[in-house]
């Protein structure tokens, strides 16, 4: 039997997070809008840190971090459920106490210098693989690292790096053996900002603030190789694949919040003597949105379920990510349409959601890349149709 219910404990965890988002996070939305429209960051980092401490007091710290590092390791399914709750607000909040999964591959010395301070919120990293000529095709990276005595000398450019302008160290991927290609010729380095790399922000249509990174002969100690020399591409793929289903999870939360706005507006807005909720054109947009949200929800939870049981979740994650990204954009477009001219103004936050959600179809694997992956898996026989729970 397939059991879709949450345990009493899981339901309590979800409800606690839902109340926290409603009481502590959502009230900051107007402040975020004011700051962003004035050209400033949505919230000062100190405000976000204070929110994280409030959540920590409530028991939410390192939700996907192993207990040995001070986390609570809720697992992929509950992490997904909580991401849906956090997705209901555009305040850039996430629980503290976490670190990029590949940092757990660090040796003991590196863990002391990078992993533990990141979990504690004392250091801020960024993941740097994308380059001007290597976006979806990560195998095409050109950044080079050449061994020179006890150091590696890194030279190259990275682009669209999340947190790149705020990070004090980066996990940068560079070619160390061009003859071996991605399979054995790419290495990951832990590179502190004070080693010499530079960053500059990239303006975007949304509030995501990526950066361009420049490495001009940056000397990195050999002790700062993360994992093994030549095995960096495996780390990169594990980083990219680890949380791909978390993207549609947050999309579900955002879409549900937006649909609630549409339902509320349709029940009070009158046109030609009737509530617009009475018109079939509005009803169908609301119905289609509900169907698409529910489909994304279960595709996402299925991917998380596979990950939780140690099954290969990559194909399921690609399906969820593709469907969720398209769904969120369709829903926000319908919600804006239902609100008419008011939806297009900055008096309502819909236009802000509209710009933010457009990013989902691009980052962490574009729609086109997800379709290519799904089709290739089927055509090459990597996955089979007609299976349940396998």
CATH of the domain at 46: 1.10.540.10
Tokens of 70: 């001070």
State whether the Cα torsion 345-348-352-357 is positive or negative.
Answer: negative
> Are residue 197 and residue 267 in the same domain, yes or no?
no
Among 122, 208, 133, 102, smallest CA distance to 165 is for 208
The H-or-E segment that residue 229 falls in is none
CATH number at residue 197: 2.40.110.10
The answer on pLDDT for 1 being more than 90 is no
Tokens of 218: 């940056």
- Residue 40: burial class (beta carbons within 10 Å; 0-12, 13-18, 19+): exposed
Average pLDDT over residues 24-28: 95
> Are residue 50 and residue 90 in the same domain, yes or no?
yes
Residue where one domain finishes, among candidates 98, 133, 157: 98
Predicted confidence band of residue 255 (pLDDT cuts 50, 70, 90): very high
Distance CA 55, CA 330 (A): 32
Q: What angle do the packed helices 314-339 and 367-379 form, to 10 degrees?
A: 140
Q: What is the pLDDT of residue 38?
A: 83
Q: What DSSP line would sit under 310-336, residue for residue?
A: T---HHHHHHHHHHHHHHHHHHHHHHH
By the 8 A CB rule, do 229 and 187 touch?
Answer: yes
Tokens of 355: 């710009």
Which has the minimum average pLDDT: 33-47, 98-112, 314-328?
33-47
By the 8 A CB rule, do 69 and 108 touch?
Answer: no
Q: What angle do the packed helices 280-308 and 246-266 form, to 10 degrees?
A: 160
Could you list the active site residues?
Answer: 364
Residue 343 lies in a domain: yes
Q: What is the pLDDT of residue 87?
A: 96
The angle subtended at Cα 319 by Cα 254 and Cα 84, nearest 5°, is 25
> Are residue 285 and residue 375 in the same domain, yes or no?
yes
CATH number at residue 327: 1.20.140.10
Residue 181 lies in a domain: yes
Among 261, 273, 152, smallest CA distance to 215 is for 152
> Are residue 306 and residue 252 in the same domain, yes or no?
yes
> Are residue 33 and residue 92 in the same domain, yes or no?
yes
The answer on pLDDT for 241 being more than 90 is no
Among 203, 286, 261, 338, smallest CA distance to 29 is for 261
Q: Which of the two residues, 53 and 1, has the higher pLDDT score?
A: 53
DSSP code of residue 113: I
Predicted confidence band of residue 104 (pLDDT cuts 50, 70, 90): very high
> Are residue 249 and residue 357 in the same domain, yes or no?
yes
Q: What DSSP line would sit under 321-387, residue for residue?
A: HHHHHHHHHHHHHHHHHHHTHHHHSSSSTHHHHHHHHHGGGTTTS-HHHHHHHHHHHHHTTSS-TT-
Residue 105 lies in a domain: no
Among 179, 164, 166, 178, smallest CA distance to 131 is for 164
Residue where one domain finishes, among candidates 199, 231, 263: 231
> Are residue 274 and residue 357 in the same domain, yes or no?
yes
Q: What is the number of domains present in the chain?
A: 3
Q: What DSSP line would sit under 4-31, residue for residue?
A: -PPPHHHHHHHHHHHHHIIIIIGGGHHH
Residue 33 lies in a domain: yes
pLDDT digits (tens, 9 = 90+) for 134-182: 766 667 889 999 999 999 999 999 999 999 999 999 999 999 998 887 7
- Residue 38: burial class (beta carbons within 10 Å; 0-12, 13-18, 19+): exposed
Q: Which residue has the tokens 């990239």?
A: 202
> Are residue 92 and residue 150 in the same domain, yes or no?
no
The answer on pLDDT for 237 being more than 90 is no
Residue partners of 36: CB distance under 8 A and separation at least 6: 42, 207, 352
Q: What is the pLDDT of residue 353?
A: 94
The answer on pLDDT for 91 being more than 80 is yes
Q: Which of the two residues, 124 and 243, has the higher pLDDT score?
A: 124
> Are residue 216 and residue 260 in the same domain, yes or no?
no
β-bridge partners, 127? 171
Residue 115 lies in a domain: no
Residue 208 lies in a domain: yes
DSSP code of residue 221: E
Cβ burial 110-119 (10 Å sphere, 16+ → b, else e): bbebbbbbbb
Residue 237 lies in a domain: no
Residue where one domain finishes, among candidates 178, 202, 231: 231
Among 314, 289, 327, smallest CA distance to 365 is for 314
Predicted confidence band of residue 207 (pLDDT cuts 50, 70, 90): confident
Q: What is the pLDDT of residue 2?
A: 60
Q: Domain range for residue 189?
A: 125-231
> Are residue 367 and residue 267 in the same domain, yes or no?
yes
pLDDT digits (tens, 9 = 90+) for 315-347: 999 999 999 999 999 999 999 999 999 999 999
Residue 253 lies in a domain: yes
β-bridge partners, 128? 172
Average pLDDT over residues 107-131: 94
> Are residue 28 and residue 84 in the same domain, yes or no?
yes
> Are residue 15 and residue 78 in the same domain, yes or no?
yes
By the 8 A CB rule, do 213 and 158 touch?
Answer: yes
pLDDT digits (tens, 9 = 90+) for 181-197: 778 899 999 999 999 99
């Amino acid at each position: 039997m397939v059991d879709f219910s949450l345990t009493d404990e899981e339901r309590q965890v979800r409800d606690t997070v839902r109340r926290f988002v409603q009481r502590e996070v959502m009230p900051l939305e107007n402040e975020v809008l004011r700051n962003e429209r004035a050209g400033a960051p949505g919230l000062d980092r100190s405000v976000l840190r204070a929110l994280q401490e409030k959540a920590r007091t409530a028991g939410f710290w390192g939700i996907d971090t192993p207990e040995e590092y001070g986390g609570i390791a809720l697992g992929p399914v509950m992490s997904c459920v909580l991401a849906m709750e956090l997705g209901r607000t555009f305040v850039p909040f996430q629980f503290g106490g976490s670190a990029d999964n590949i940092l757990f591959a660090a040796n003991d010395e590196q863990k002391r210098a990078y992993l533990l301070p990141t979990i504690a919120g004392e250091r801020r990293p960024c993941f740097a693989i994308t380059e001007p000529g290597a976006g979806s095709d990560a195998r095409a990276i050109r950044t080079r690292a050449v061994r020179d005595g006890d150091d590696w000398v890194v030279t190259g450019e990275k682009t669209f790096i999340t947190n790149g302008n705020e990070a004090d160290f980066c996990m940068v991927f560079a070619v160390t053996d061009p003859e071996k290609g991605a399979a054995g010729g790419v290495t990951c380095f832990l590179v502190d900002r004070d080693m010499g790399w530079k960053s500059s922000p990239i303006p975007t249509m949304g509030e995501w603030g990526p950066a361009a990174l420049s490495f001009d002969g940056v000397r990195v100690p050999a002790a700062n190789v993360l994992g093994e020399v030549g095995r960096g591409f495996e780390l990169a793929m594990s980083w990219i694949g680890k949380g791909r289903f978390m993207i549609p999870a947050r999309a579900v939360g955002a879409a549900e919040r937006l649909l609630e706005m549409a339902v509320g507006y349709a029940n009070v807005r009158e046109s030609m003597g009737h509530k617009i909720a009475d018109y079939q054109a509005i009803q169908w947009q609301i119905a289609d949105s509900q169907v698409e949200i529910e489909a994304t929800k279960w595709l996402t939870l299925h991917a998380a379920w596979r990950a939780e049981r140690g099954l290969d979740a990559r194909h399921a994650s690609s399906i969820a990510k593709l469907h969720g990204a398209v769904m969120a954009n369709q829903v926000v477009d319908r919600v804006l349409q239902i609100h008419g001219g008011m939806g297009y103004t900055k008096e309502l936050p819909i236009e802000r959601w509209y710009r933010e959600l457009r990013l989902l179809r691009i980052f962490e694997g574009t729609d086109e890349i997800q379709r290519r992956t799904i089709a290739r898996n089927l055509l090459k026989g990597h996955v089979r149709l007609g299976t349940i729970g396998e």
